[in-house]
């Protein structure tokens, strides 16, 4: 699994990178997904932090989530919850009964 965490004009610490990677890995493990690619980008615009998550399970299935908040941790948390909801709905839709 290739997870890339970056900041646009923003220096992210080792702890925050580890925390973010652990959270996204837990989501993929929970829904038994093995993504080809996952990119998490943070940017600071004036007094808000933008979190953008983009992931592809294969060439045809991709998920994207975006959120902006004053706190970087709350921005990450809400963006991850939206991302997890997309994966959960996809898994439920493709489930064979």
DSSP letter assigned to residue 32: T
Phi/psi of residue 62, each to 5°? Answer: -135, 150
Degrees, nearest 5: CA angle 64-66-70: 160
| Assigned fold of 3-94 | Double Stranded RNA Binding Domain (3.30.160)
The residues with which 10 forms a beta bridge, in sequence order, are none
Confidence band for 59, pLDDT divided at 50, 70 and 90: confident
Summarize pLDDT for 63-79 with one digit per residue, the tens.
Answer: 999 999 999 999 999 99
Q: Where are the domains of the chain?
A: 3-94
* Structure tokens belonging to residue 78: 């809400």
pTM of whole model > 0.85? yes
pLDDT digits (tens, 9 = 90+) for 2-58: 889 999 888 888 999 999 999 999 998 998 888 888 999 999 988 999 999 999 987
Cα 22 → chain centroid: 11
- The answer to whether the beta carbons of residues 49 and 27 sit under 8 Å apart is no
């Amino acid at each position: 699994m290739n997870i890339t965490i970056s900041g646009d004009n923003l220096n992210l610490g080792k702890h925050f990178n580890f925390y973010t990677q652990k959270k996204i890995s837990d989501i993929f493990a929970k829904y038994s997904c093995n993504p080809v690619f996952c990119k998490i980008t943070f940017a600071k615009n004036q007094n808000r932090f933008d979190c953008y998550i983009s992931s592809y399970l294969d060439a045809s299935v991709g998920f994207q989530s975006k959120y902006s908040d004053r706190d970087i941790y709350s921005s990450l948390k809400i963006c991850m919850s939206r991302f997890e909801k997309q994966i959960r709905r996809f898994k439920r839709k493709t489930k064979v009964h």
